[in-house]
Amino acid sequence: MASESVAQISNNLLYCAMAVYAVAMYCYAAELAFGSRLRRGEPALVTANGAGDTSYDEPAAPVEEREDRTGKAERLGRIAVSLTALAFGLHLASVIARGISAGRPPWGNMFEFSVTGSLAVTGVYLVLLARRDVRYLGIFVMLPVLLTLGLAVTVLYTESTQLVPALKSVWLVIHVTAAMIASGILTIGFAQTICYLVQERRERTPAEQRSPSFMDRLPSAAVLDRSAYRMHAFAFPIWTFAVIAGAIWAENAWGRYWGWDPKETWAFITWMVYACYLHARATAGWRGRKAAYVALLGYSTFLFNYLVVNIWLVGFHSYAGVN
Amino acid sequence: MVDSDVVHTAMSTAPGEVEPPSGPGALGPRGMGRWAWRQLTSMRTALLLLLLLTVAAVPGSLVPQSAVDPVRVAEFTAQHPTLSPWYERLSLFNVFAAPWFAAIYLLLFLSLAGCVLPRSRAHWAASRARPPAAPRYLERLPVHEGWTVDVSPREVLDAARLALRRRRFRVDVGSDGSVAAEKGYLRETGNLLFHAALLFLLVAVAVGNLFGFQGSVLVAEGGSFSNTVSAYDTVRQGAAFRSGSLVPFTLTLDDLSVRYEQKGVQRGAPRDFKAAVSFTASPDASPKGGELRVNHPLVIDGTKIFLLGNGYAPVFTVRDGTGEVVFSGPVPFLPRDGNNTSVGVVKVPGAKPKQLGFQGLFLPTAVLDPQRGPISVFPDDALPRAVITAWVGDLGLDSGAAQSVYRLDTTGMTQVMNSGRPLAQSLARGATMTLPDGAGSITFDGVRRWTSLKVSHDPGKQWALLSASAALIGLMLSLFVRRRRVWVRATAGDDGRTLVRVAGLARAEGEGLADEVAEIATALRAKED
């Protein structure tokens, strides 16, 4: 088959994936909207006082909640998860087809990085979902994935072609894959941090005075904070590895391992801000909201690196392929 | 024991850390020094320094940097004549070498060192000390299990000791009928390793800057250069760099082949650069052949040579008014766009009676656009044309001031005119432009390619890689290893049976402690039954 037609198949699969993602997003939204007021993911009561180690995300569900789980909201939630898995399959097939049509790893320009990067976001979500009940995150994952894909197919679209010589290296696989996986995990952490900030604000009002909201379906602020921390703590070494791999590649391609090229500078800034976040969580007076704001800042520096530096700042990393 | 929220990536949650006094007043110079040291090494200060360093790096990506792209700095200076002197004063064109940037990271590293050292000492002591003794009432701990068995307390404790050893706990048998065990010291080891490795990384970078050398040189096909400081067009060398440490090789560029995309929207995008070179590793070595590609540097005796840019060097022959050949050879032109529209100048100081200068536009695949005039439509040399204008007069080379080889200083020159308009001619290969009034002529003989090569020597880079890898390993240990304590207590009951209690405590947030305690309890029960 000609590579053009495989590229066309890849594009069609991507549109299908986007449609399924959109339906999944509505199902997640409906689940949150129609669900009962009971919270999910409350810590099990066996290990009270918070000092020890509690299995926060796999609670022994109270009786009422178990009843709710057979209700309409539960059915919607399950449909949403199935649709997410289906969309992920289509998305993955699209990425593979793109790779086949170009005859190389499909992340050589910004369009491809966006498509494969958002695949990583869904992938991380599904892996997490297999281990814990994080369905509440569904809508907050579908939204950025759809936005990224929308941006990719409209603004960033680039035809499937060969690589420029600078990208022909095994480090393209190592460095960019690590960066994409890290950004997928950071995106989930970002979503959880936002949820945490909203929930924390909500929890300042005594429970009986709160007006009903879909936020009641989300875990408590403490649980969200802890889950977000885990995501960031997991992503940070991967990001570190991506930066080191990039430095090794730079040494091999440009004769210096670090040259303060804008992309490098912003990778460093992102690394530093997340390092601040990890430290802030252990510093009195910074725990909680302040640390969460640092995490949000970290994600925004990552977004800046992805969108602004790629397109507007001149540097060695100008591979966006966007005209 | 700290609450579960404390993350042990924090350096100054060090054991024994004292809350600094509220202010330095009336402390005396020594007390003042200690107060300042405590402030500097406190977590809050480290955090602020981290944030500050982050913010300080931002202008380095937004303002053009002379270490990264001096041409853009020059352009910026020309465009912003009032702003630039201030930028210059604030080192904004050189952020990463600026004193204020250095001040921040040096303070940060000092603060870091002030944390790593006492904590290493404390960790050393802790890893040799016995695990803390079992609390009296294990049932008050958050994770615990209890049951009764028929064997004696001593047998239970022996079994517990073995079971915990097997699980790689450090175990200590207490005199009060208990076993204390602790595990996960690697967490703090990793934490210390990470921060110490960052200190070494800074040293490695400094070594590279002090003893390193980077030179880049532009070589046309057929041209060669030897690895000496003076042979390079641009050089960056460290203060402690000795030119004697350069490998004495000589390299000739035999051929540069470039392949471009021929069709589709990416038409004209480069696909492959390949430079065939021959070199002698030392003056008396025999010549060898080699190949250079992007991402595939050539290594000669440990020195890496990189292929960076490329362009065209049109070959010209210039005759002066007397008919003498006063110049002949390739002249590197600088590409200006994706289709390799290139500009350059030919300076002929030896021309008589007056010096000659030519400004040229080289178009590898030339097309005459009705609006824009002659342009290049493809980067490969399918239909090369050189568009030339000529100047006569003083090139200004004798004044001693440095001059760019890519720019003509026309202050002492007059442009050669032809019936009231500047003389300009588009030359095909082999064509000659004759200047009026017998001033001379220029012939476009053909075109060669040039490549810019970079030679880099950084004695700190292996150490930098080693430090970075150590930092990564340390980081993973400090984030993923869980430190936890487990205690087992066995007491003889009144009924002759033995009451066994197992309890655990985790120091950092994490999961699985309950599972681990349950597993240990199950293992013990299996033994005893």
Task: Give B189-251 as a DSSP string.
Answer: HHHHHHHHHHHHHHHHHHHHHHH-EEEEEEEETT-EEESSGGG-SEEEE-TT--GGGS---EE
**Distance (Å) from the alpha carbon of B479 to chain A's nearest alpha carbon:** 7
How much is the pLDDT for A1? 54
Per the CB < 8 A criterion, the answer to whether B244 and B229 are in contact is no
How much is the pLDDT for A70? 53
How much is the pLDDT for A269? 95
What's the 3-state SS for chain A? CCHHHHHHHHHHHHHHHHHHHHHHHHHHHHHHHHCCCCCCCCCCCCCCCCCCCCCCCCCCCCHHHHHHCCCHHHHHHHHHHHHHHHHHHHHHHHHHHHHHHHCCCCCCCHHHHHHHHHHHHHHHHHHHHHHCCCHHHHHHHHHHHHHHHHHHHHCCCCCCCCCCHHHCCHHHHHHHHHHHHHHHHHHHHHHHHHHHHHHHHHHCCCHHHCCCCHHHHCCCHHHHHHHHHHHHHHHHHHHHHHHHHHHHHHHHHHCCCCCCCHHHHHHHHHHHHHHHHHHHCCCCCCCCHHHHHHHHHHHHHHHHHHHHHHHHCCCCCCCCCCC
Tokens at residue B115, please?
């944390």
How far apart, in whole angstroms, are the C-alpha atoms of residue B375 and residue B362? 9
How much is the pLDDT for B24? 54
Q: Mind listing the pLDDT tens digit for each residue in A167-181?
A: 888 888 999 999 999
How much is the pLDDT for B467? 96
How much is the pLDDT for A218? 86
**Distance (Å) from the alpha carbon of B434 to chain A's nearest alpha carbon:** 41
How much is the pLDDT for B55? 92
Tokens at residue A159, please?
């035809």
Q: Mind listing the pLDDT tens digit for each residue in A11-65?
A: 999 999 999 999 999 999 988 887 754 544 444 333 333 333 333 344 444 444 4
Scanning the structure block, which residue is given the tokens 């022959």?
B317
DSSP H/E element including B147: strand B143-149
DSSP H/E element including B288: strand B288-292
Among A residues 90-149, those touching chain B with beta carbons less than 8 Å apart: none
Per the CB < 8 A criterion, the answer to whether B199 and B11 are in contact is no
Amino acid identity of residue A235, one-letter, is A
Strand partners, B329: B316
In 3D space, the residue among B457, B463, B453 whose CA is nearest the CA of residue B246 turns out to be B457
In 3D space, the residue among A274, A266, A83 whose CA is nearest the CA of residue A185 turns out to be A274
How far apart, in whole angstroms, are the C-alpha atoms of residue B506 and residue B487? 12
Tokens at residue B286, please?
């025999």
State whether residue B8 sits within 8 Å of chain A by CB.
yes
Q: Is the pLDDT of residue A68 over 80?
A: no
DSSP reduced 3-state for B353: coil
Relative to beta strand B334-335, strand B342-348 is antiparallel
How much is the pLDDT for B129? 87
Among B residues 122-141, those touching chain A with beta carbons less than 8 Å apart: 141
In 3D space, the residue among A23, A31, A6 whose CA is nearest the CA of residue A216 turns out to be A31
CB contact under 8 A, A168 and B506: no
How far apart, in whole angstroms, are the C-alpha atoms of residue B513 and residue B503? 10
Q: Considering only alpha carbons, which residue of chain A is nearest residue B472?
A: A237
Measure the CA dihedral B95/B98/B104/B109, to 10°: 100
**pLDDT-flagged residues of chain B (< 50):** 1-21
State whether residue B293 sits within 8 Å of chain A by CB.
yes
CB burial readout B137-146, b (16+ within 10 A) else e: ebeebbbbbe
State whether residue B53 sits within 8 Å of chain A by CB.
yes
Among A residues 42-61, those touching chain B with beta carbons less than 8 Å apart: 46-56
Amino acid identity of residue B500, one-letter, is V
List of chain A residues whose C-beta atoms are within 8 Å of the C-beta of residue B10: 279, 282-283
CB burial readout B425-445, b (16+ within 10 A) else e: bbbebeeebebeeebbbbbbb
CB contact under 8 A, A47 and B143: yes
In 3D space, the residue among A296, A273, A286, A291 whose CA is nearest the CA of residue A190 turns out to be A296
How far apart, in whole angstroms, are the C-alpha atoms of residue A231 and residue A188? 7
User: Which pTM value belongs to this model?
Assistant: 0.85
How much is the pLDDT for A316? 63
- Write down the ipTM of this complex: 0.85
In 3D space, the residue among A241, A261, A246 whose CA is nearest the CA of residue A313 turns out to be A261
CB contact under 8 A, A309 and B61: yes
Q: Is the pLDDT of residue A253 over 60?
A: yes
In 3D space, the residue among A119, A118, A172, A125 whose CA is nearest the CA of residue A147 turns out to be A118
Q: Considering only alpha carbons, which residue of chain B is nearest residue A56?
A: B511
Q: Which residue has the higher pLDDT, A273 or B15?
A: A273
CB burial readout B373-392, b (16+ within 10 A) else e: eebbbbbbbeebbbbbbbbb
